[in-house]
Structure 1
Amino acid sequence: MSAIDYEFDTRPVDDILPEGRVGTGDLESLRPLPRISVHAFCVSQGVQRVMEQCAQDRRMAKVSMRITNGNIAAAASMFSSTPTPNLIILETDATPQTLLQELAPLAEVCDPSSRVIIIGRHNDIALYRELVRNGISEYIVSPVSMAEVMAAVSAIFVDPEAEPLGRTIAFIGAKGGVGSSTIAHNCAFGISSLFATETILADLDLAYGTANIDFDQDPAQGIAEAVFSPERLDEVFLDRLLTTCSQHLSLLAAPSLLDRSYDFDRGAFQPLLELLQRSAPITVLDVPHAWSDWTRAVLAEADEVVLTCAPDLANLRNAKNMLDALKKLRPNDKAPHLLLNQVGMPKRPEIAPQDFFEPLEIEPIAIIPFDAALFGNAANSGRMISEIDAKSPTAETFAQIAHLVTGRATVKKPKRGGLDKVLGLLGRK
């Protein structure tokens, strides 16, 4: 039984999922930017810090960004001898009366295809209209936020009519054997069935993946063909690799063979993940417990990260290290969701849930008790928990997690009494 209280959103799922439209204050609504070059010229430290934050954001992974301490004159001087980038961002403290005059030297050396965003001090609608008439793409009044800058860039380079991008949810364990894959598979099944939403489950553990076993499937092809043949990747090829698990759930299975080594470069999975985002509203990524360049890249670029732990000291240490590392990888995203699994295993010494969460300074989204019979029967029969016992507390917890990671629920602040209740039910009081 979960000790977590949720507030549920009753809107249709299509109203919750990203629609690819720019929201000026909402980073979550922004699409990844294409491969463009950006050069920002900053006068103040505040704007320079904002630009540095933008450069570190996962949505800017493909962007080549350079930041220079200088004004419009410095930009004009630099580009008199070097090609201009796709986008120039200029901070200025010029008055409305002198701004166009300061821009004139830059206009003479700027490539016609380059776009310009100006960050100014004056909230003047007449100035804005005059700048737009003279070819300036956007004028933003300082102080500016990171969301405002990225929304302005997205408005220029991201097609608002483009197909919506799906949401990627990455599941990873703080330690091997904590049940992260089982939780990922059950959540993928729950998302697809509860919301009638097309969902793709991608098993990224090519050597030892269990998604094919958990869904009683034996596909001849899967994720290995996609990763090792990126030049063939398109919607038709992907459709051939997917295996249907239920009406709305498709599986991109791992080969689970040891006939080769699975050493990947950092960007090995990026073409596949981009295609999956265009192919389904939800993609669930079952990420193996490893810490390499490619797993870091996958976790850095996912929309949501779910970290599964078991209540022991090694998990606590690993969870703390992973949360700290993910904060650096994803500085502008919310913290990963934390799950505590296998709580109350007979005869195993455990760290009490409240003692586990306190040093992590993060509240869990679910506490899942150990239930060998329920999980064992599901695994051995190739079925999900909700198929084995739809009325069980564990099935309810998986449904709640599915609501949460798709944005259809929020977690209320857990009450310590609730945790005590769970511990009492588990016979630990």
Structure 2
Amino acid sequence: MSDFDGETTPMTGQGDAPSGARLVPRITIQAFCEHSQTAQVIESAAGDRRMSKVALTTHNGGLDGAVETYKTNPTPNLVIVETSLGADQILNALGRLAEVCDPSTRVIVIGHVNDVVLYRELIRAGVSEYLVMPTTTPVLISAISDLFAGADAAPIGRTIGFFSAKGGAGASTIAHNTAWAMARQFRQDVLILDLDLAFGTAALDFNQDPPQGIADAVYANDKMDAVMLDRLMSKAANHISLLAAPAVLDRTYDLSERSFEQIIELSQKHVPMVVIDIPHMWTDWVRHTLSAIDEVVIVAEPDLANLRNAKNIADTIKAARPAEVDPILVINKAGIPKRPEIPAAEFAASIECRLAGEVSFEPGLFGTAANNGQMIAEVSAGHKLNEVFKGISQQVTGRTQGGAGGKSGVLRLPDLFKKLKRAS
């Protein structure tokens, strides 16, 4: 598998972060702020998963502080400067900054003037980005990501993790059938990563017995690359591949926090949609994986224990990734006879997550599919559950959102200091 036509959901406002935004490469950023509110926005960005490789520091002094600093110090890859100057003064101040900056340095200006004439002047000057206060952390991250991982960068696939609120809630079954619906509906490649090394069922559910899989990738360490990833993947169906779990107990799987990080990043570079089947446990690597992927799907049964656990999971994920979309909820095994249940809408409202779908209790259908190594659509192509899985697939991939969108408060301005230096 190689390059693909990746899709991301466009930003619809200053407070929205684009789903599936690209990871920012290993760069150095220095920010010079005039107000504490601006410094808080920038410092919050440093904790975002997309900025995990970035070295970011904040300083006081605004634009003047940046000028004084770079008279005697080298400039980083990106300088962020805040200025409260009026429209007629900003360009002159930027000219002083250009005199002490390396031509390759990019600059984002955070200003307090919302003036189209100023925008045009900054465009002609070549500022990389202009953000108007009040702005937000998601907008800033998007601006940085666009600068350093823009249209000329390799496409990045969307990562979607499925996690059970309680053991036996059925996250694996939901993940695999959703992956099938994604592949059929969008006709794009889907890679399923089964992270339950000891007891994973992805190979069984697709009637596969691959000799290699996710464990080989985990223990390859620095040897893991795109060629090896392609060799370890097994084809399960048209547009669907697996990195299956070994599901053997000849060893224990004591993994470090970032054990799956490299595999997930490599997968994103080669497959447009990556479905991650995360086992029901709570370890450093599970917590890190949930905080580092694009979309988290909590799968729960409609009872009190699931509600408590789902609330804890949702709150933890929201706290770990405040600038990104909240987890979404799938209710599974709804309608078990004689079992008191919490209504799906009430369940979703209680944990403050969007309800993506409700999967009814169909033991005969799911049992037949599991025993045959098939998906629900293969066992019963006309069953109503296929529409449920199709709807879930649309929501987790962002394909239900239309329109071109826009980036309020952001202006794209090319090649700042090269122009100013040539003019001086």
Aligned partner of 2:326 in structure 1 is 335
- Is contact 1:166–1:280 with CA below 8 Å preserved after alignment? yes
In 2, Cα distance between equivalents of 1:50 and 1:302? 22
Aligned partner of 1:414 in structure 2 is none
Distance 1:39 1:317, change over 3 A: same
TM-score (norm 1): 0.83
In 2, Cα distance between equivalents of 1:354 and 1:257? 39
Q: Which moved more, 1:325-334 or 1:27-36?
A: 27-36
Aligned partner of 1:243 in structure 2 is 234
* 2:182 pairs with one of 178, 191, 194: 191
| Amino acid in the other structure paired with 2:18 | E
In 2, Cα distance between equivalents of 1:24 and 1:369? 36
Matched, 1:304 2:269: no
Aligned partner of 2:262 in structure 1 is 271
Q: Deviations over 1:290-318 (max 9, x none)?
A: 22222222212222111001122221110
- Is contact 1:31–1:154 with CA below 8 Å preserved after alignment? yes
Gaps of 5+ in 1: 1-13, 411-429
- Residue pairs, 1:196-211, within 5 angstroms: 196-211=187-202
Matched, 1:18 2:7: yes
State the SS of the aligned residue for 1:339: strand
- Is contact 2:9–2:398 with CA below 8 Å preserved after alignment? no
* 1:44 pairs with one of 35, 39, 43: 35
* 2:273 pairs with one of 269, 279, 282: 282
Q: Deviations over 1:146-185 (max 9, x none)?
A: 4443343234312412232111111000111110001101
Gaps of 5+ in 2: 402-424
Distance 1:112 1:184, change over 3 A: same
Distance 1:124 1:295, change over 3 A: same
- Is contact 2:214–2:245 with CA below 8 Å preserved after alignment? yes
- Is contact 2:314–2:353 with CA below 8 Å preserved after alignment? no
Matched, 1:317 2:308: yes
- Residue pairs, 1:389-404, within 5 angstroms: 389-404=380-395
Matched, 1:379 2:370: yes
Distance 1:127 1:316, change over 3 A: closer
In 2, Cα distance between equivalents of 1:133 and 1:359? 51
Distance 1:78 1:191, change over 3 A: same
Aligned partner of 2:17 in structure 1 is 27
- Residue pairs, 1:156-195, within 5 angstroms: 156-195=147-186
Q: Which moved more, 1:130-139 or 1:46-55?
A: 130-139
Q: Which moved more, 1:266-275 or 1:93-102?
A: 93-102
- 1:192 CA displacement: 1.1
- Is contact 1:306–1:336 with CA below 8 Å preserved after alignment? yes
- Is contact 1:22–1:155 with CA below 8 Å preserved after alignment? no
- 1:205 CA displacement: 0.9
- 1:60 CA displacement: 1.7
- 1:126 CA displacement: 6.8
In 2, Cα distance between equivalents of 1:355 and 1:143? 35
Distance 1:66 1:369, change over 3 A: same
Q: Which moved more, 1:104-113 or 1:341-350?
A: 104-113
In 2, Cα distance between equivalents of 1:20 and 1:374? 34
Aligned partner of 1:423 in structure 2 is none
| Amino acid in the other structure paired with 2:149 | V
- Is contact 1:178–1:310 with CA below 8 Å preserved after alignment? yes
Q: Which moved more, 1:134-143 or 1:114-123?
A: 134-143
| Amino acid in the other structure paired with 1:320 | K
State the SS of the aligned residue for 2:237: coil
Matched, 1:137 2:131: no
- 1:361 CA displacement: 3.4
* 1:121 pairs with one of 96, 112, 117: 112
Q: Which moved more, 1:210-219 or 1:59-68?
A: 59-68
Aligned partner of 2:208 in structure 1 is 217
| Amino acid in the other structure paired with 1:114 | T
Q: Deviations over 1:27-54 (max 9, x none)?
A: 3263221111212111123423332342
- 1:355 CA displacement: 4.8
- Is contact 1:207–1:262 with CA below 8 Å preserved after alignment? yes
Q: Deviations over 1:182-222 (max 9, x none)?
A: 11011111111232211111101111111011111111101
State the SS of the aligned residue for 2:355: coil
- Is contact 2:114–2:132 with CA below 8 Å preserved after alignment? yes
| Amino acid in the other structure paired with 2:169 | V
- 1:259 CA displacement: 2.2
| Amino acid in the other structure paired with 1:288 | P
- Is contact 2:138–2:324 with CA below 8 Å preserved after alignment? no
Aligned length: 396
State the SS of the aligned residue for 1:257: coil
- 1:322 CA displacement: 0.7
TM-score (norm 2): 0.84
Distance 1:100 1:337, change over 3 A: closer
